[in-house]
């Protein structure tokens, strides 16, 4: 991994030099983004490396945990080979291939899904998850700072006849890329935070029968949304298209949860506050879900 990192540092430097010679004006115009783009690339690579090390620190003999670690390692390996492909393309002066970006995103996402499934009471798992999330955040910065749209457009262009805008949109949807996977991840994370917020509310609302009914409805909605996410995740992992019915199930489950939480009106302000906090979290999940629809 150290050699790999050194390779990427060399890459970032050589690319900056190339650009300085080739386009001094655009560097001046957009120098901030350019530097940030390379910093984000380096952070992504460094993050992958420290996540890999953190995974090695997980010594649990529990079979679920070992299986999750193996799956997470496979995801990281995939992400890393996507980065190598991107690095080679950049070194030879080409745009980063969308498929490789997708590979990086999906590898990170798969690793995250694997780790999030196991007990959070194991500190070494939590540490690895934190490193992984830092890596994903750095990857998000790459998308934001390295001009992904231009690259994606470039890849969409050959198959997009001007007369057939719908086909172009479909191609772009299929390409998806890192942004799509970040949105998926944000949906999963927010969904899990929503469940925690509703569980917390359920502890506060024990004495209020009406509120508890709505809390249970909200919980059922979130569970249904989670089942929909699992169906989608299974489809993605096996290389199939996410079934439309599973997407609907996620959306409907979230809407049910939010409506139930919004209808809570208790005489206990703590219950109302908890319901408002949980509803806001479900709202964020819906926003993240909308980003999935837009980017995937």
Ligand X SMILES: *[C@@H]1O[C@H](CO)[C@@H](O)[C@H](O)[C@H]1NC(C)=O
Which residues bind to ligand X, rule: CB under 6 A?
186, 189-190, 197, 200, 204, 270, 273-274, 284, 287-288
Minimum distance, C-beta of residue 202 to ligand X, in the bound complex (Å): 10
- CB of 165 or CB of 294, closer to ligand X: 294
Closer residue to ligand X, CB minimum distance, 156 or 288: 288
What is the C-alpha separation between 205 and 275, in angstroms, rounded?
Answer: 9
Measured distance CA(2)–CA(11) in Å, rounded: 14
Q: How far is the CB of 92 from ligand X (least distance, A)?
A: 35
Query: CA 95 to CA 86: how far, in whole Å?
Result: 8
Pick 11 or 254: Cβ nearer ligand X: 254
Helices marked H in the chain: 2-22, 24-56, 63-91, 98-116, 123-145, 148-156, 165-175, 177-204, 209-237, 244-262, 269-295
Token readout for 240 is: 């199939």
Q: How many CA atoms, within 13 angstroms, populate the side-chain half-sphere of residue 216?
A: 6
Q: How far apart are CA 95 and CA 146, in angstroms?
A: 11
**In the numeric block, which tokens belong to residue 70?**
């193996």
Nearer to ligand X, 139 or 274 (CB): 274
Task: Output 87 or 232, the one with its CB closest to ligand X.
Answer: 232
> CB of 9 within 8 A of CB of 88?
no
CB of 239 to ligand X, least distance (A): 25
The number of angstroms, rounded, from the C-alpha of 173 to the middle of its chain's C-alpha atoms is: 16
For residue 155, the minimal CB distance to ligand X (Å) is 26
- In the bound complex, what is the minimum distance in angstroms from residue 288's beta carbon to ligand X? 4
Could you tell me the two tokens for 262? 């919004």
Nearest distance from C-beta of residue 268 to ligand X, angstroms: 10
Min separation Cβ 267 and ligand X, Å = 15
- Would you tell me the crossing angle of helices 177-204 and 209-237 to the nearest 10 degrees? 160
Q: Which is nearer to ligand X, 96 or 107 (CB)?
A: 107
* CB closer to ligand X, 38 vs 190: 190
């Amino acid at each position: 991994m150290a050699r790999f990192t050194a390779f990427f540092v060399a890459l970032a430097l050589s690319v900056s030099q190339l650009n300085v010679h080739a386009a001094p004006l655009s560097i001046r115009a957009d120098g901030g983004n350019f530097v940030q783009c390379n910093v984000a690339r380096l952070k992504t690579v460094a993050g992958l490396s420290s996540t890999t090390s953190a995974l090695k620190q997980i010594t649990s003999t529990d079979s679920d945990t070992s299986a999750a670690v193996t799956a997470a390692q496979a995801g990281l390996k995939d992400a890393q080979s996507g980065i190598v492909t991107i690095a080679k393309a950049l070194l030879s002066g080409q745009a980063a291939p969308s498929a490789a970006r997708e590979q990086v995103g999906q590898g990170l996402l798969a690793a995250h899904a694997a780790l999030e499934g196991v007990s959070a009471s194991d500190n070494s798992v939590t540490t690895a998850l934190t490193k992984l999330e830092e890596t994903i955040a750095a990857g998000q910065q790459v998308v934001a700072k390295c001009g992904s749209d231009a690259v994606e457009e470039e890849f969409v262009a050959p198959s997009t006849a001007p007369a057939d805008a719908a086909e172009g949109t479909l191609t772009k949807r299929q390409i998806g890329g890192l942004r799509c996977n970040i949105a998926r991840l944000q949906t999963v994370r927010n969904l899990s935070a929503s469940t925690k917020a509703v569980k917390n509310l359920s502890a506060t609302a024990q004495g209020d029968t009406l509120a508890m009914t709505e809390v249970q409805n909200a919980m059922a909605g979130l569970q249904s949304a989670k089942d929909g996410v699992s169906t989608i995740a299974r489809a993605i992992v096996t290389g199939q298209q996410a079934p439309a019915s599973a997407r609907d199930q996620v959306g409907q489950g979230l809407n049910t949860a939010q409506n139930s939480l919004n209808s809570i009106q208790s005489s206990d302000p703590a219950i109302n506050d908890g319901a408002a906090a949980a509803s806001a979290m479900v709202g964020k999940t819906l926003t993240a879900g909308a980003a999935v629809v837009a980017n995937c």
